[in-house]
Amino acid sequence: MAILRNLPSGRSIVLRPLHTFGRHPDSCRTVLQEADVSKLHAIVRWSGMRWEVADQSRNGTLLDGVRLQPAHWHGLAEGSEIRFGASAAAAWTLVDASPPRTGLWPLGGEPVLRVLDIQENLLPHASAAESNVFQSEGRWWWDRMDQVQPLLDGHVVQAGGQRWEFVLCEDLGATQDVPRMPPASALPAPLFDFDVSQDEEHVCLDIQLGGQSLSLGERIHHYTLLTLARQRLQDALRGVPMASQGWLAIDALARMLGVDVPYLNIQLFRARRQIQNALGGAGETVAVVERRRGEVRFGDYAFRIRKGGRLEGERPGAQP
């Protein structure tokens, strides 16, 4: 999480593993406006052991007051001062020389990188979750409940009136808590298989998919999905039109489950992430929880509910 700070302005930036400086906005990560700065003035990189800088300019780059030999890598340390050209406005100091990390950089407020966990990053914070950033299939995703979108370096993430820049620095690797299907461009329609204990204290969930069974185990958020599935089933049995089946107000669902709304949102985020991880590359197309203003419902998928070993109900499309 290396941080470079401009001395005159106090502006701080997070260094990427390969970070370019200069006047040209299309080729430089950090654009410098000083007149003697070249289009591509200098490059800073992480070598795997340390940060290094190489001058690429006509007017020179100074490191701790010494002009650098062009096109050669020079090591940096915490406290090193880099000056891109002669102007004092282009003087920067390395205030943090730690290795690059993937995270969220605040756009305003305290300049501290929020390092990301590959499993869950509830925003703006865990006690009032509005969205979630997580990793699946080697990519980072932003789950805003109404949609899940991939994140690229530099994308802006918003939640709770706060804004962050997504900083992609490395492949952190992934340890998954569920089995994963191979990446695929399309999936057969999944069937969600709920197995509920007689006292409703335990809910296991399997996904039947193209002749395979994916066990998602027992999780607290499976009861939340079960409750939504039951609501959709009840509405179907009452003859409610399909477009209107299953919708529940979020606050009403929270009361049914005996939790508050922020905690409910956390459970929904975790359910969606677990299912996306289980289904691999095509999991992004499976919207197990649908959302509209103030309401949620179980998605348009077949499901089967067994309670105490007996069939409680199933949505059309389920196989016996």
Q: Which residue has the tokens 């932003």?
A: 142
Q: Which residue has the tokens 């701790």?
A: 64
Q: Decide: 2 and 96 in contact? Cβ < 8 Å.
A: yes
Residue 160 scores a pLDDT above 60: yes
Q: If pLDDT is split at 50, 70 and 90, which confidence band does 90 have?
A: very high
> d(Cα 157, Cα 247) in Å, to the nearest integer?
28
> d(Cα 30, Cα 259) in Å, to the nearest integer?
46
Q: Considering only 6-20, 146-160, 183-197, 241-255, which range has the smallest mean pLDDT? A: 183-197
Give the model confidence (pLDDT) of 28-60 as tens digits.
999 999 999 999 999 999 999 999 999 999 999
Burial 174-204 (b: 16+ CB within 10 A, else e): eeeebbbbeeeeebeebbbbbbbeeeeeebb
Q: What is the residue-averaged pLDDT of the chain? A: 88
> d(Cα 201, Cα 196) in Å, to the nearest integer?
8
Q: How many CB atoms lie within 10 A of CB 233?
A: 19
pLDDT at res. 266: 86
> d(Cα 201, Cα 194) in Å, to the nearest integer?
13
Domains in the chain (CATH in brackets) are 3-96 (2.60.200.20), 103-167 (no CATH), 191-314 (no CATH)
Say which amino acid occupies 222: H
Q: If pLDDT is split at 50, 70 and 90, which confidence band does 175 have?
A: very low
Mean pLDDT of 249-263: 91
User: Which two three-digit tokens encode residue 244?
Assistant: 């209107």
Which residues, other chains included, contact 310 with Cβ-Cβ below 8 Å and sequence gap of 6+? none
Q: Which residue has the tokens 């197309």?
A: 285
Q: Considering only 11-20, 74-83, 205-214, which range has the smallest mean pLDDT? A: 205-214
CA-closest candidate to residue 140, choices 284, 252, 31, 27: 284
Mean pLDDT of 81-93: 94
pLDDT at res. 136: 75
Residue 170 scores a pLDDT above 80: no
> Under the phi-then-psi rule, with left for phi > 0, alpha for psi from -120 to 50, and beta for the rest, what region is 248?
beta
CA-closest candidate to residue 296, choices 264, 320, 318: 264
> d(Cα 31, Cα 254) in Å, to the nearest integer?
48
Q: If pLDDT is split at 50, 70 and 90, which confidence band does 171 have?
A: very low
Which residues, other chains included, contact 134 with Cβ-Cβ below 8 Å and sequence gap of 6+? 118, 119, 120, 121, 140, 141, 143, 273
pLDDT at res. 178: 42
Give the model confidence (pLDDT) of 55-75 as tens digits.
999 999 999 999 999 999 999
pLDDT at res. 187: 60
Residue 313 scores a pLDDT above 50: yes
Q: What percent of the chain clears pLDDT 90, i.e. is strictly above it?
A: 64
User: Which two three-digit tokens encode residue 217?
Assistant: 């185990």
pLDDT at res. 303: 96
